[in-house]
Amino acid sequence: MPYDQQYPHETELSAAAVQLNHTAIYARDRHLSAEFIAAILGLTVSAPFGPFLPVDLGNGVTLDYYEKRDEPIQSQHYAFLVPDAQFHAMIARLEAVGVTYYADPSHTEPGQINRLFGGHGAYFDDPDGHNMEIMTRSAPSRPPGGGPDDPGSVPVT
């Protein structure tokens, strides 16, 4: 039976009712990785919660760093919408710790920022190779079900 027949949409929650609460981020050293992103974003690391070391983003969402030492860590992408007034301070923090930032997600434009959607943005790697992004403007909303032919979609390479 197709998914939409198993789970009818009559009881769907509105988009405003669904919020991300936390996400687990694998790290070889949870303390190093959590302290790194907290320092760059100007945040603090919270007390450990079981095997997790949370970084509170201040919007009800935490990044819960989880140590995974014996297996390779698959790089993920995390994008942070940051205030205009703090963007350049974050770039300065990256420069201060010797981390290269890029204007693009493929990391082909080192030391550059982008100016997408009327704001500023940059990409950089965390200690585990996760592709982090800071941006001051988010992409325009895409219609539900937007795909590769949708002009608001960006192909992933």
For 51-98, write each residue's pLDDT tens digit. 999 999 999 999 999 999 999 999 999 999 999 999 999 999 999 999
Q: What is the mean pLDDT of residues 5-26?
A: 76
C-alpha to C-alpha distance for 108 and 129, rounded to whole angstroms: 15
DSSP structure class, residue 63: E
C-alpha to C-alpha distance for 125 and 102, rounded to whole angstroms: 10
Q: What is the pTM of this model?
A: 0.81
C-alpha to C-alpha distance for 147 and 157, rounded to whole angstroms: 15
pLDDT value of position 15: 63
